[in-house]
Amino acid sequence: MTSRRHYIFPTLLLSTILLSPTHAADFCVADLTTQTTSGYTCKNPTNVTADDFVFTALVHSGNTSNTNKASAVPGFVQQFPGLNGLGLAVARADIEPGGAIPLHSHPAATEMIYVAEGSITAGFISGASNVVYVKKLNKGEVMVFPRGLFHFQVNTGKEHAVGIASFSDSEPGVQLVSLAIFGNDFPSFLVEKTTSIDEAEVKKLKALLGGSG
Amino acid sequence: MTSRRHYIFPTLLLSTILLSPTHAADFCVADLTTQTTSGYTCKNPTNVTADDFVFTALVHSGNTSNTNKASAVPGFVQQFPGLNGLGLAVARADIEPGGAIPLHSHPAATEMIYVAEGSITAGFISGASNVVYVKKLNKGEVMVFPRGLFHFQVNTGKEHAVGIASFSDSEPGVQLVSLAIFGNDFPSFLVEKTTSIDEAEVKKLKALLGGSG
Amino acid sequence: MTSRRHYIFPTLLLSTILLSPTHAADFCVADLTTQTTSGYTCKNPTNVTADDFVFTALVHSGNTSNTNKASAVPGFVQQFPGLNGLGLAVARADIEPGGAIPLHSHPAATEMIYVAEGSITAGFISGASNVVYVKKLNKGEVMVFPRGLFHFQVNTGKEHAVGIASFSDSEPGVQLVSLAIFGNDFPSFLVEKTTSIDEAEVKKLKALLGGSG
Amino acid sequence: MTSRRHYIFPTLLLSTILLSPTHAADFCVADLTTQTTSGYTCKNPTNVTADDFVFTALVHSGNTSNTNKASAVPGFVQQFPGLNGLGLAVARADIEPGGAIPLHSHPAATEMIYVAEGSITAGFISGASNVVYVKKLNKGEVMVFPRGLFHFQVNTGKEHAVGIASFSDSEPGVQLVSLAIFGNDFPSFLVEKTTSIDEAEVKKLKALLGGSG
Amino acid sequence: MTSRRHYIFPTLLLSTILLSPTHAADFCVADLTTQTTSGYTCKNPTNVTADDFVFTALVHSGNTSNTNKASAVPGFVQQFPGLNGLGLAVARADIEPGGAIPLHSHPAATEMIYVAEGSITAGFISGASNVVYVKKLNKGEVMVFPRGLFHFQVNTGKEHAVGIASFSDSEPGVQLVSLAIFGNDFPSFLVEKTTSIDEAEVKKLKALLGGSG
Amino acid sequence: MTSRRHYIFPTLLLSTILLSPTHAADFCVADLTTQTTSGYTCKNPTNVTADDFVFTALVHSGNTSNTNKASAVPGFVQQFPGLNGLGLAVARADIEPGGAIPLHSHPAATEMIYVAEGSITAGFISGASNVVYVKKLNKGEVMVFPRGLFHFQVNTGKEHAVGIASFSDSEPGVQLVSLAIFGNDFPSFLVEKTTSIDEAEVKKLKALLGGSG
């Protein structure tokens, strides 16, 4: 067919660029066995399917039957390997009335939360000025928490609340303030000296949060 | 009070670092009057409030009374200046049954979509292999579209669908395939020569999409 | 010899820094067997020679005996492993009179073209404003196509034209508009819905460009 | 002189590149009046002198006559504008026996400390595993605290200790754990809910650290 | 017209994203009056034309009537403002037989040279191993010089040679070894002490290259 | 215990994020056997201890019994694997009176030096303007040398001097001007042609610095 021959050029023209089955510059689905300074090495692209780019674990809430009355389900590169190197991660937070996602920071990422259900009172603390920026967010509103700064989400409303968080790195990391101080073997005399929290409170919180030392 | 004097140190100790009212290393709310290669210059931090970090325009759907039966409401740095330099942007897509967000790419960002209501059939096309990765996403599912690649979202279901998209840059940019080709004064003979689409179709689409030339 | 002892210091002084045969911070010639989010792991530097930094495939034109009357020879990291991690790639385009490099984008890189022979009419389309920037380039002129945006090169002159393109990443990627839409199994009803191109034209182009579905 | 003419070439040859008095690609001494997402705009290079690249404020200790028995003198871009955009900052910490630099993080930088005098017990807490890495450092030893993670320095020895810290960004930022929680108007009920620290302790620490609410 | 109304959607749908005349996320043509750590602030995009993306100064050779028998014409951001922030720069080198582009480095960029005419013997020196990688390049061949390393180009052939260089940054910078040492007021005793070049040679080269002190 | 159950939430709440023994997003201690474009792959975090973040080799001076009367002890990623990917490196320089760290550059990093003992006359040369910025630094003073530019340190005082250098990359690299030109097999005729240094001096320096050719 003349016209077919006429238009077949792109395959010919670009055959040296395209259709290379052994590598894909477009994405790098993580092979979680080898970590690098900027993520993981890539899974062979010939084994990649659409499912590698889809994450289904946020469909359901995590278990909020804990004192915090809250749950967090992460979709970071370890859970969602298709994100490797793409500069994004995701998580779902469920908070019952009176519950809270504790004060924490993400060492490597900015977080942005979208309120999918209910309302969430959220805030962060500036390092430069020590100002606390707090706002009650209603359904459909979005708040951003700049990278590395302490922030929190609390349900001060009367309904179950759901937040969908996105992050500016596929490995945002997380550091929970109280768990980092009281939930390990950080020696109590160092905790006291470096936080001004008194001995009795340190011991009590270590007992409560599973810490020792 | 002795103990107050006892604990007052951090203010003294770090007063040279903290409490600098004229600059804030933590964030850089955009002053939209001066653009740089990586965003905008910063608004004076003394004028920044919690509202600068909150975006409310996604509460409601855009107008879907168009042939595409879809709307997109962006929360990029131009609409949400608090994102400046933080590596994230957001958008809300509403798609009626049978509607579509047309084929497009974001030159500067990866996109990730969370299905907040209904279901969305979404996909992207690899540049390296020309493979099309398509998946029907149900409520609560997430799909990622690697940076720069063509992708689309279609509502093949029977309910109104809402997607919340996040992006890996506060200025993701957007390039709509058909609008870029047919919705401007891109000379028709160049369109034909560089796309293989024939003259009659080019003329028809230019007429439909507002193009000339 | 006294003076030799006198000046021998740098070898002594810096022997712990220099002359480490097992690693080279200066470059990272790709070992194409393991890909990471930012290129490939490095070939052992003791096996590296000057030839690793030289690329000879651009000496000759590719085959322009196709309807497009054009050829493209890439020197990306997969063809030229010495570029790995160095932020550059190269390609040679040959275009006969009336020929064209089809409309395409590079998801990960800016392109800059130098006209080595003949003349080339080139252009790109802004995503932000939808403006088409087109210019006829004579021998020795250079044009830049910002990262991720659609662009093209056409020979509207009467001589064979040669362009030497450089890119801002060793893996620029490439996405050809028509091939991405019509040269694979992208379902026709999704093509129509997401591009506004009508059914007959979609079928015709799929047939011509090797697509199905 | 023949030979002078003979060798004068570089000035001629490169006169279009070099000797441009109105801009300097090499450095960008901060003009602190305009902040961008990645530092500050540049001071006119014709007004730059060697003094712009030298910082003398670390010659002396800060005042350690406070309960913390410690001082910190920063050399960040705001104090040392020559660092703008160069990816480094510096600080001097002095700690008396029994004193401490409180638990803190740098949202935007890794820190590395060199013990210039005495000994310092230092540590950081992993976010991923909650492990505390602690070590007593003697004079001349160096420890690194990865970006964004909580860390501290304590003088458990008997001599005055001096640490010279360097940072991987000219604006590392700083967030002191106790000051961020108790030294501002962060509402007490939110502190309790998001840290598990009990009401009495929160009130006591707010009183001590100058907080309210 | 029904069909026109039928297809007009993209303008409606995306009107909040597109067609913003006051900013353009796609590019940032330099306004050379204000420099930042990563380039320059942007010219108003409404004043941008296709000419901003085209550079014509490489059409002709620079003047090679100097002892070096060579010329270099740069197309860095200062000469070609459209490159601002796009990660590329360009230059043309002309070298007569027996001529040379002197030993130099680019502090901020990798260089890649394409031989457009004649032949060029080029090379660079590894910092890690002190190995010299040298190669004679014929017309159409490409060599890469990794960022920051000393390199040179010499015409050891019998024809005029032309090289087109591209760089991985729009401000690659340049540091010529001999000019940096001998072409300014770098005190001779410091030159001798830090290079091992003896006093007589230092004085001779300072005289030849316009230096003093 | 009721209250323990009451506070045990963070472990429950965040158990999917934290306590993953097989990966650590916080740091990436180098496994020196596999190099990538941005460092090395990571050692298994379960084998990481506090010692991986501590570097003790700077406690003592290197050997200054050489003509340069100087020594340099590096703490780059190859010597201090805990720095991998963290954007910092360190080194100790000892310089006897009359000694010097020769003119050199770091292809991949800015350097900042803190004078720990004695005094050091240091300087760097701008590429853009060819200006030499020199300053005598006393104990406690800091100077910064922008990335990629030639710089040096000389002891013009009467006491032993110690400098602690930090760098903006864990692999700063180093290129010593005289050693790069005269300490290898860089052919003499190319040295002469590309540096203007005359034949006799080139031969003398090659003999002194161990070069050939």
Which residue carries 């890439």 as its tokens? C74
Nearest to D164 among F45, F51, F164 (CB): F164
- If you ran DSSP here, which 8-state letter would residue C43 be given? P
Q: Residue D19, Cβ neighbours under 10 Å: how many?
A: 12
- The verdict on a CB contact (< 8 Å) between E190 and F121 is yes
Least confident of A16-25, D21-30, E34-43: A16-25
* Optimal mutation site among F7, F77, F86, interface A, most CBs of chain A within 10 A: F7
pLDDT tens digits, C120-175 = 999 999 999 999 999 999 999 999 999 999 999 999 999 999 999 999 999 999 99
Whole-number pLDDT of residue A24:
58
The pTM score is 0.94
Amino acid at B86: L
Mean pLDDT in consecutive groups of 10 residues from the start of chain E, 213 residues: 36 45 75 95 95 98 92 95 98 97 96 98 95 98 98 97 98 95 95 94 93 90
- Per-residue HEC secondary structure of chain A comes to CHHHHHHCHHHHHCCCCCCCCCCCCCCCCEEEEEEECCEEEECCHHHCCHHHHEECCCCCCCCCCCCCCEEEEEECCCCCHHHCCCCCEEEEEEECCCCEEEEEECCCCCEEEEEEECCEEEEEECCCCCCEEEEEECCCCEEEECCCCCEEEECCCCCCEEEEEEECCCCCCCEEHHHHHHCCCCCHHHHHHHHCCCHHHHHHHHHHHCCCC
pLDDT of residue C213: 85
Residue A200 has pLDDT above 50, yes or no: yes
Say whether F106 counts as a known binding-site residue.
yes
Q: Quote ipTM for the complex.
A: 0.92
Task: Spell out the domain ranges in chain C.
Answer: 1-173, 179-209
Question: Does the beta-carbon distance from A17 to C76 stay under 8 Å?
Answer: yes
- Position of tokens 């609008």? B179
CA angle F164, F169, F170 (to 5 degrees): 80
Q: Which chain D residues have a beta carbon less than 8 Å from that of F126?
A: 24, 26-27
Among chain D residues, CA nearest to B3: D208
The answer on pLDDT for D21 being more than 50 is no
pLDDT at A20: 46
Could you give the C-alpha distances from D28 to A145, C49, C171, E106, F122, in angstroms and in order? 29, 37, 30, 17, 20
Partners of residue F148 in chain E, C-beta under 8 Å:
105-108, 147-148, 173, 175
B-D contacts (CB, under 8 Å) = 93
Instruction: Pick the residue from chain A with its C-alpha nearest to D208.
Output: A196
Residue-wise pLDDT for F142-189, tens only, equals 999 999 999 999 999 999 999 999 999 999 999 999 999 999 999 999
Predicted local distance difference test score (pLDDT) of residue A213? 85
pLDDT for the residue A10: 46
- Are F74 and F94 spatial neighbours (Cβ–Cβ below 8 Å)? no
With tokens 């991985």, the residue in question is E168
Conformational region of residue F181, where left means phi above 0, alpha means psi within -120 to 50, and beta covers everything else: alpha
Q: Does residue F15 surpass a pLDDT of 60?
A: no
Q: Left if phi > 0, otherwise alpha if psi is -120 to 50, otherwise beta: which for D130?
A: left
Asked if residue B7 has pLDDT above 90, the reply is: no
Q: Across the interface, which of C68, C107, C209 has its CB nearest the CB of A26?
A: C107
Q: Between chains, do B148 and C121 touch, taking CB under 8 Å as contact?
A: no
Rounded distance between C-alpha atoms, residue E192 and residue E206, angstroms: 12
Smallest Cβ distance to C173: which of B148, B183, B184?
B148
Provide the pLDDT for residue F25.
75
Chain B: residue whose CA lies nearest to C208: B196
CA-CA-CA-CA dihedral for A65, A66, A72, A73, to nearest 10:
-50
Neighbours of A47 (CB within 10 A): 9
* Nearest CA distance, A76 vs chain D (angstrom): 12
What are D159's two structure tokens? 């001599």
CB pairs under 8 A between C and F: 94
Mean pLDDT of F127-145: 96
Tens of pLDDT along E66-115? 889 999 999 999 999 999 999 999 999 999 999 999 999 999 999 999 99
Contacts of F181 in chain E (CB under 8 A): 103, 125, 150, 177
The SS3 of residue D85 is coil
Nearest residue of chain D to residue F49 (CA atoms): D133
Q: Do the beta carbons of residue A125 and residue A71 sit within 8 Å?
A: no
Chains A and E touch (3+ CB pairs under 8 A): no
CATH of domain A1-173: 2.60.120.10
Calpha distance B7→D182 (Å, rounded): 11
For residue B55, give both structure tokens: 């975006």
CATH class of E55-174: mainly beta
Contacts of B10 in chain D (CB under 8 A): 68, 102, 176, 178-179, 183, 209
Q: Which of C3, C11, C17 to mutate to test the interface with F (most CBs of F within 10 A)?
A: C17
B36, D32: Cβ pair inside 8 Å?
A: no
pLDDT-based confidence at residue C67 (cuts at 50, 70, 90): confident
CB-side neighbour CA atoms (13 Å) of D192:
12
> Closest Cα to residue D197, out of D188, D208, D186?
D188
Interchain contact, F41 vs A62, CB within 8 Å: no
Of B161, B123, B130, the closest CA to residue B145 belongs to: B123
Q: Are C193 and C187 in contact (CB under 8 A)?
A: no
Q: Is the pLDDT of residue B6 over 90?
A: no
The answer to whether residue F43 scores a pLDDT higher than 60 is: yes
What's the rounded Cα separation, in Å, for the pair A156 and A136?
8
Residue A111 pLDDT more than 70?
A: yes
Asked if the B53-173 domain carries CATH number 2.60.120.10, the reply is: yes
What's the rounded mean pLDDT across residues C36-51?
A: 95
The per-residue pLDDT of chain B, averaged, comes to 90
* Beta strand B142-145 pairing with B111-117: antiparallel
Q: What are the C-alpha distances in Å from C65 to residues C62, C158, D130?
A: 9, 17, 63
To which residue do tokens 């009107």 refer?
Answer: E15
The pLDDT of D141-167, averaged and rounded, is 98
Place of tokens 């302790």: D201
Q: At what angle do helices F199-209 and F188-195 cross, to 10 degrees?
A: 120
- Give the residue, B96 or F4, on which the prediction is more confident: B96
pLDDT per position as a tens digit, B72-104: 999 999 999 999 999 999 999 999 999 999 999
Instruction: Give me the sign of the Cα torsion angle D185, D189, D191, D192.
Output: positive
Task: For chain B, give the percent of residues with pLDDT over 90.
Answer: 85
Burial letters for B155-164: b for 16+ Cβ neighbours within 10 Å, e otherwise? Answer: bbbeebbbbb
Q: Nearest-CA distance from C137 to chain B in Å? A: 15
Taking CA–CA distances from D92, the nearest residue in chain F reads F140
Closest F-chain CA to D59: F140
